[in-house]
């Protein structure tokens, strides 16, 4: 039996899109962004009784006295550090588990898992394990908590149940568009550069980013992060619900798991929200009709030609 004294709660916070920002704006501004991020986080530690363990590139590893303090700190990091014009998105992971301290540093499975939980969060999110959630019921009562499914992580034997805080309603900056080139959050009221591409309006932080996009629009429009931020339709929710029901009928989900995932689907706003409830379900393999089989090579060739034509058109 693990005592409460042996359990530690860790917080990992990092900058989403840091590589893209460095490529667009250079090493000097990237280093300044990390320094500003670290300064903002350090200013919040004392109020939550937390301590900085170390900085790893654009990420910070923190230790909190308990899960409630860790959640409160994570929320403050998102709200005060990550919700500003021309700020990179901040993502936070929280986990409670066992670890050992050596010369001011902490080691153990809890540290590694917390880092991986943070890397799977989206900008503006606090994602936590079930262990952290269960240790902070009072702190979480004021938030809309979303179940994100059970995720498998490398070298972790059992799937980890994850939950995310919906902080959108509590931030004046929620909903700000993201510069597709450097991934900065942009207040539309302060942006002088806009483009329309394939029916969508894009907002840029600077003339430099707009010029980069003009040279390679298809490259930035195809980024996976952009497609996952697209809003979902009622039809998409219905398709995912049907898929969950099929998994339940085949014994892959129990009744309680089905109900929890359907609740997430009903609240889903983006493709990423839907993907979180189906990522561990097998994909349906499409069957090729016998009459189409002889023409399959021509069909695939036609798709390849259309894809190349679109790429040339977008250059």
* Predicted pLDDT of residue 115: 92
Boundaries of every domain in the chain = 4-170, 188-223, 234-278
* Predicted pLDDT of residue 249: 85
Distance CA 12, CA 126 (A): 10
Q: Residues in the chain with pLDDT < 70?
A: 1-6, 85, 166, 168-175, 222-232, 269-272, 283-293, 310-315
Candidates 223, 226, 230, 176; CA nearest to 203 is 176
* Predicted pLDDT of residue 110: 92
* Predicted pLDDT of residue 134: 92
Bridge pairing between strands 59-64 and 7-15: antiparallel
Distance CA 51, CA 75 (A): 16
DSSP, collapsed to helix, strand or coil, labels residue 199 as coil
User: Does domain 4-170 fall into CATH 3.90.550.10?
Assistant: no
* Predicted pLDDT of residue 258: 84
Distance CA 110, CA 94 (A): 10
* Predicted pLDDT of residue 172: 39
CB-CB contact of 232 with 269 (8 Å): yes
pTM for the model stands at: 0.69
* Predicted pLDDT of residue 191: 79
Q: List alpha helices for the chain, DSSP H.
A: 18-25, 27-45, 67-76, 109-119, 130-134, 137-140, 207-215, 217-221, 224-228, 234-249, 255-267, 271-278, 296-314
- Write down the mean pLDDT value for the chain: 81
């Amino acid at each position: 039996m693990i005592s409460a004294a042996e359990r530690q709660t860790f917080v990992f916070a990092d900058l989403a899109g840091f590589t893209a920002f460095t490529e667009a704006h250079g090493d000097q501004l990237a280093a300044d962004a990390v320094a500003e991020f670290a300064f903002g986080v350090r200013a919040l530690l004392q109020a939550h009784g937390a301590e900085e363990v170390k900085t790893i590139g654009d990420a910070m590893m923190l230790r909190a006295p308990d899960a409630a303090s860790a959640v409160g700190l994570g929320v403050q990091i998102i709200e005060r550090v990550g919700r500003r014009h021309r700020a990179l998105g901040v993502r936070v992971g929280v986990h409670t588990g066992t670890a050992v301290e050596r010369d001011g540093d902490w080691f153990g499975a809890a540290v590694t898992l917390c880092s991986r939980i943070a890397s799977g969060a989206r900008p503006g999110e606090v994602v936590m394990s079930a262990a952290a959630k269960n240790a902070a019921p009072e702190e979480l009562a004021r938030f809309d908590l979303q179940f994100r499914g059970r995720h498998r992580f490398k070298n972790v034997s059992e799937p980890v149940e994850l939950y995310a805080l919906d902080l959108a309603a509590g931030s004046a900056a929620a909903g700000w568009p993201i510069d597709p080139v450097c991934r900065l959050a942009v207040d539309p009221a302060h942006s002088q550069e806009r483009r329309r591409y394939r029916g969508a309006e894009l907002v840029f932080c600077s003339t430099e980013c707009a010029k980069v996009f003009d040279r390679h629009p298809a490259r930035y429009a195809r980024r996976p992060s952009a497609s996952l931020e697209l809003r979902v339709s009622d039809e998409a929710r219905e398709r995912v619900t049907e898929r969950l029901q099929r998994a339940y009928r085949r014994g892959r989900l129990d009744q309680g798991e089905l109900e929890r995932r359907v609740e997430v689907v009903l609240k889903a706003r983006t493709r990423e929200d839907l993907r979180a409830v189906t990522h561990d379900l097998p994909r349906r393999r499409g069957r090729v009709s016998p009459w189409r089989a002889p023409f399959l090579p021509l069909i695939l060739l036609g798709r390849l030609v259309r894809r190349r034509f679109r790429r040339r058109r977008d250059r």
